[in-house]
Amino acid sequence: MIAVMIAGATAMIVSLFCTRFLIRFFRERGAGQPILGKADLGPEHHMHKQGTPTMGGLGIVVAAGLGWFVAHLRDGLAFSDQTMIMWVGVLVLAAMGFLDDFIKVRKRHNRGIFWKKKSWITLGLSFLIAWWLVAGTGVSETISFTRASLPGWDVPWPIFVVFVGFIIWSTSNAVNVTDGLDGLAGGSAMMGFLAFTIIAYWAFRNPDVYGAVVNPLDLAVFAAAFAGACGGFLWFNAAPARIMMGDVGALGIGTALALLAVTTNTQLLLILICGINVMEAGSVAVQMAVFKASGRKKRLFRMSPIHHHFELVGWPETTVIIRFWIICGIFVATALAIFIGDFTKLSGKL
């Protein structure tokens, strides 16, 4: 537990200082966030945010990495192959997001050069990460809810790799879609990482039940480091935001959440832990389906993702953020209740 606390506390402190530095650094260089206006069917009510320093997600990734590393300076906690592969996955997707952010800033338009191809590129990278994780570690190759044996559906190795790849791709993009209001993505991600910290540490303390989880203590440290980093970033990202996360942060965070779900054998539980992200991404999918089915004449929401819809019906931005945080907290609490409830039921039988 001490290593977990060291990781979280170190990451939060580093994130506070690193984010403050990034605000000054990007402001001096004019690296501000471009906003899509009315001509691009964007949220023109956010035009006042144009020019706010962006790519703050760099601070989250760096702080989480340092927090995770410092925790390993204690005796008894080894650098596991599994978590090292997870870090490579996070850095690869974060680098993809950074490239897109950099191009947006240079072009001064909120669509990078890869905006039409980015989804396919991230999908391909997600499959490669999934293949390496499954081939290079002892992660359980079963579709699971709260543990490897529930429901424990065994699928052929190639299908499981594709399944994991889709989890990484969909989660990273869902977090990216959620990152549209000040602090919404950072706050909801922090709750998700805290949930995975509990799940991974619970698995570490109960190996007789969760023996299929590989290196659970290292996973708990990994999750705690990201939770602390998101908390430190949120200090400056809360409304009114002084810096924005950018794709570099959203894709990195989403990848970390997805990989934690895969390595803790809670892939299906991720739907609840990231429930707010599912809701946001789902609103975009539903909006597009209704729009195309109506011959491009009707929309279900005034604007998607759904947080923009509530803004346009009159909710202040801070009201939307806080209420969505509450919804996220309910999702996460429900997921943890199911996880602990299953453990209690199983341990009673044992």
- pLDDT in the model for residue 45: 54
Residue 218 lies in a domain: yes
Residue 332 lies in a domain: no
Residue 318 lies in a domain: no
- pLDDT in the model for residue 39: 45
Residue 277 lies in a domain: no
DSSP assignment letter at 53:
B
- pLDDT in the model for residue 11: 97
CA 149 to CA 165: how far, in whole Å?
A: 21
C-alpha angle with apex 322: 327 to 50, nearest 5 degrees?
A: 120
Q: Which pTM does this prediction carry?
A: 0.92
- pLDDT in the model for residue 40: 47
Sort 338 into a burial class: Cβ within 10 Å, 0-12 / 13-18 / 19+. middle
| 140 backbone φψ class: left, alpha, beta (φ>0; ψ -120 to 50) | beta
Q: Which domain holds residue 215?
A: 2-143+155-263
Averaged over successive runs of 10 residues, the pLDDT of the chain (350 residues) comes to 93 96 85 55 56 86 96 86 94 93 74 68 94 90 90 90 96 92 93 97 92 92 97 93 90 96 96 95 90 83 85 90 96 96 80
Residue 297 lies in a domain: no
**Domain total of the chain:** 1
Residue 308 lies in a domain: no
Residue 299 lies in a domain: no
Residue 56 lies in a domain: yes
3-state DSSP assignment of residue 202: helix
